Structure 1
């Protein structure tokens, strides 16, 4: 029972991180229709900024997370203004090429500053929590709890606030939203800021149990795209559910099948589910 519980905990941990990354990615795609492959670089930069603030500057873990989220949010907004906004009337392929170029540029900058070595962010909590005969590392519980709070908070923001409603309205009909006075510029900037902040928070939460290195965003962004395709392009509930599905599939697949194949399980699962539901799990929100 304890072994099974550990796999459930691992699945929830991975699913929480994947869902946070996929949420930012699906926001940008659902509203601006930009396949932002640079999102993996935002994830990577967020981890490095937290590592620098907590390690070199000696700041608290939570302070490092806030600084990282703010810095990556600003970086995401600058990239929207300088790179993606000028390409708004160009073919979609241009956005993809620009995003990949930004990804490679940010990786080169990070490698020039910190090198290609592996790093690890010290865990803020190293205690082991015990529930009857079950044990759980506090860091994994922290990841799951923080991710749930962020997901609920994002849903409340989008559904219950005026600013969030402008984002939803723009996602539903960009031209109609502009006609009623909603600024596409502000919505674009806010969307990229939220996307970057979510990536940085996910990276900071994950960094204590995962290595930090320049190419760490590659596999994460590929799985995030798998998740948003699986859940339904542009669907926020789909991103959350899809992240959890991939997290549990990887956790149980690595334990019961082989750890060597855990990274391809997401792609095999994508092929299987899309063969049954080509529209994804939540097609109703997809445009």
Structure 2
């Protein structure tokens, strides 16, 4: 039972991180109807900014997290204006190619600025809590609490505020939202900024127990695409549920099968679920 509970904790940790990244990706997809392949690079930039704020500027962990979120939000908003906005009337292939180009640009820039070597972020939460014979790493508990708190905050923002409602309206019907006076350009910038913040926070939470390097976002964003396809493209609840499903599948699969197949499990699960429910777990469309 202790082993099962330990894997349950690991699954919640992975699921929380995957869900945060997938939420930002699905919000942007809801606005543009184009998969933003550069979202993984936003995740990577957030981790590097947090490391440099802590190592170079002596900022504490939480200040570094906020600083990384702000910087990546600005980078994401600028990317929307310079890369995606000029292509808003182009076919879906053009924004996809632009997103891949932006991904390569940010990865190359990170390597030029910070080097290609692996780095690790220090954390003040390195202790182990003992509860009933179960070892609970403080950083993993922090990830779980912070990730699900942020998800709840995002849900309340989208459902209980006028600004959040404009994002949902744009995702559901862009033309109809514009007809009732919603500014699509402002909503697009705001959505990209929120997605960048979510990616940066997820990276800062996960960096102390993972390595930081320029290509670190590639596998994460690939799994995020699996998650939003599983949950239904553009579905916010689907992104959260899909992240948890992948987190649990990876954690228990790595333990009971083999860690060598951990990263394959997500894609195998994608094939199985889409064979049974091609539209995903939730009806398409952000809610």
CA distance, structure 2, for counterparts of residue 262 and residue 81 of structure 1: 37
Q: 1:88-129 CA distances to partner (integer Å, 9 max, x unpaired)?
A: 011111111100000000111110111110000002201111
| Alpha-carbon offset, residue 4 of structure 1 | 1.1
Where does residue 169 of structure 1 map in the other structure?
Answer: 169
| Alpha-carbon offset, residue 55 of structure 1 | 1.3
Listed as ranges, the matches of 1:88-99 within 5 Å are: 88-99=88-99
SS in 2 for 1:64: helix
Where does residue 273 of structure 1 map in the other structure?
Answer: 273
CA distance, structure 2, for counterparts of residue 177 and residue 4 of structure 1: 47
CA distance, structure 2, for counterparts of residue 188 and residue 197 of structure 1: 14
| Alpha-carbon offset, residue 226 of structure 1 | 0.2
CA distance, structure 2, for counterparts of residue 147 and residue 97 of structure 1: 31
| Alpha-carbon offset, residue 32 of structure 1 | 1.8
CA distance, structure 2, for counterparts of residue 141 and residue 283 of structure 1: 32
SS in 2 for 1:285: coil
Where does residue 18 of structure 1 map in the other structure?
Answer: 18
CA distance, structure 1, for counterparts of residue 124 and residue 247 of structure 2: 23
Long gaps (5+) in structure 2: none
| Alpha-carbon offset, residue 284 of structure 1 | 5.2
Long gaps (5+) in structure 1: none
CA distance, structure 2, for counterparts of residue 64 and residue 284 of structure 1: 36
Where does residue 67 of structure 1 map in the other structure?
Answer: 67
TM-score scaled by length of structure 2: 0.98
Where does residue 76 of structure 1 map in the other structure?
Answer: 76
SS in 2 for 1:135: strand
| Alpha-carbon offset, residue 271 of structure 1 | 0.1
Contact 2:27 2:286 in 1 (8 A): no
Where does residue 150 of structure 1 map in the other structure?
Answer: 150
| Alpha-carbon offset, residue 285 of structure 1 | 3.2
| Alpha-carbon offset, residue 57 of structure 1 | 1.1
Q: 1:79 to 1:209 in 2, by over 3 A?
A: same
Q: 1:156-175 CA distances to partner (integer Å, 9 max, x unpaired)?
A: 00000010011111111111
Where does residue 178 of structure 1 map in the other structure?
Answer: 178
Listed as ranges, the matches of 1:229-244 within 5 Å are: 229-244=229-244
SS in 2 for 1:192: helix
Q: 1:32 to 1:19 in 2, by over 3 A?
A: same
Q: Is it true that 1:123 corresponds to 2:123 in the alignment?
A: yes
> Which 4+ stretches in 1 moved above 4 angstroms?
none
Listed as ranges, the matches of 1:192-231 within 5 Å are: 192-231=192-231
| Alpha-carbon offset, residue 31 of structure 1 | 1.9
Where does residue 101 of structure 1 map in the other structure?
Answer: 101
| Alpha-carbon offset, residue 34 of structure 1 | 2.0
TM-score scaled by length of structure 1: 0.98
Where does residue 27 of structure 2 map in the other structure?
Answer: 27
State how many pairs are aligned: 287
Q: 1:14-38 CA distances to partner (integer Å, 9 max, x unpaired)?
A: 0000000000000000122121000
Where does residue 113 of structure 2 map in the other structure?
Answer: 113
Q: Is it true that 1:44 corresponds to 2:44 in the alignment?
A: yes
CA distance, structure 2, for counterparts of residue 240 and residue 124 of structure 1: 28
| Alpha-carbon offset, residue 266 of structure 1 | 0.2
